[in-house]
Amino acid sequence: MTADNKTEKLQGRALFEAIGKPKTIVAPMVDQSELAWRILSRRYGAELCYTPMFHARLFANEPKYRDSMWSELDGDKEKDRPLIVQFCANDADYLLKAARFVEDKCDAVDLNLGCPQGIAKKGNYGAFLMDDWELVHKLIRNLHDNLKCPVTAKIRVYDDWEKSLEYAKLVLDAGAQFITIHGRTRDMKGQATGLANWDLLRYLRDNLPEDQVFFANGNILYPSDLQRCTDAVKCDAVMSAEGNLYNPAVFWTKTDDIDMQFRRVDKMLREYFEIVKEVPGEASRHAMKSHFFKLLHAFLNVHTELRPVIGKTSVHSSFDEWEKIVVRVEEIVEEIYQKDNISEIDVVTTGEVQSWGGSYKTVPFWRCQPYFRTVNGEKQNTRVLHVAATEKVEKTSKKEVKQDAKVQTEESSTKRKPSEELEGERKKVDIEKENVTI
């Protein structure tokens, strides 16, 4: 397709309306937003999904890599749409070659300009292309001019608000039809994640063309945060990465229902496992262990005996072996629900409003819930947090800290003391957690 007939493609607002004007989006994540996970997330309110980040050169040139990442059901019109396929790249020709393999099975192709991980720095892609605007423009323009389907882009912000705006304008000038902006800087990752800056996102929204399709990313912990973000940023839709990984029902807003918004881990795990068994291809199977750890993260802090069992079970093990783990989780949770005081303890409580506008919730460990990193022994939801692109920091209220500490004390009373082996396994899992989101 040439520049002369590129207008045949849907663009901008027309494209957004054609895919149903989605409001909730599963973010592209390294090996974590694969087919089975997308199917699960759509059941709980996700209206648009991105694939995992694919490496353009490998996808273009290595059939084995491509076949491991993409199956005949990926992009299926009935089960996996709307869908945006994301690539990381630093070569325009490889990017176009890779995108042509999927251009008929997706609604758009996205360029990853947001991955902040060390592997992206080493490979010179993702957020590290923020240092080469000419290359960014070339990559997007080549897709816009030559691909059948539209191109979109996902970026991060700079500390400089004006530079962030100029960068967003360059991405749009190159041909991106949607822009997703993660309200954190490139340095905000892992233990230094901090808070995304919704004020900066609103500034960018207000200074870009009024009809520009704009997606916001960052600070989504609970379903209630979706509308807060939409109202604060005036965005078209809200994307979640880590929030979705630990609770696929983070997008559920149809009802204010604890059993849907904070699903029991036994039920969510079973539902996900049954999907994995049914879908084709390697990607969903390979991602399964990581998803088990994330869905069960709070549960495993109490039932530590299951952590090494999951850790030692290979993704190549039979489904019968994984079935044993799922059944054991079901048995433990069922025992909890046999307690006489279950109606008193099976509740989600909301803390006081924090200075950044949201509230932390206390969720029983047997329900899906957000993950908070621990830095120097202090949980992220009880410490000072840096706000992106400002000198501002936010501190959880003392009352909220006490509440969190109380919950941890109550839960720890039922824990077995972890051995050195278990602690080592936990550290491995934490490292894995910090390397998946982009």
pLDDT in tens, 196-210: 999 999 999 999 999
Beta strands, E only, 132-291: 151-157, 178-185, 213-217, 237-240
User: Among 281, 266, 231, 280, which residue's Cα sits nearest to residue 366?
Assistant: 266
322 — pLDDT class (breaks 50, 70, 90): very high
Q: Does an H or E element contain 271, and which?
A: helix 265-278
- Using DSSP's 3-state secondary structure scheme, residue 110 falls into strand
Rounded CA separation 374/371 (Å):
10
Domain ranges of the chain: 6-257
Is residue 402 pLDDT above 60, yes or no? no
> Helical H runs in 280-387?
283-295, 297-302, 307-312, 319-336, 342-345
pLDDT digits (tens, 9 = 90+) for 76-109: 999 999 999 999 999 999 999 999 999 999 999 9
| 6-257 is classed CATH 3.20.20.70 | yes
Q: How many CA atoms lie within 13 A of 58 on its CB side?
A: 13
Tell me the C-alpha to C-alpha distance, in Å, between residue 315 and each of 35, 172, 327. 16, 41, 17
Q: Which residue has the higher pLDDT, 168 or 387?
A: 168
Tell me the C-alpha to C-alpha distance, in Å, between residue 219 and each of 8, 167, 293, 408. 37, 22, 21, 23
What percent of the chain clears pLDDT 90, i.e. is strictly above it?
78
Tell me if residue 368 is catalytic: no
Q: Which of 49, 115, 235, 368 is catalytic?
A: 115
Give the pLDDT score at 125: 95
pTM (predicted TM-score): 0.88
Angle (nearest 5°) at CA 224 between 220 and 230: 70
- Using DSSP's 3-state secondary structure scheme, residue 220 falls into coil
- Amino acid (one-letter) located at 359: S
Is residue 415 pLDDT above 50, yes or no? no
pLDDT digits (tens, 9 = 90+) for 275-291: 999 999 999 999 999 99
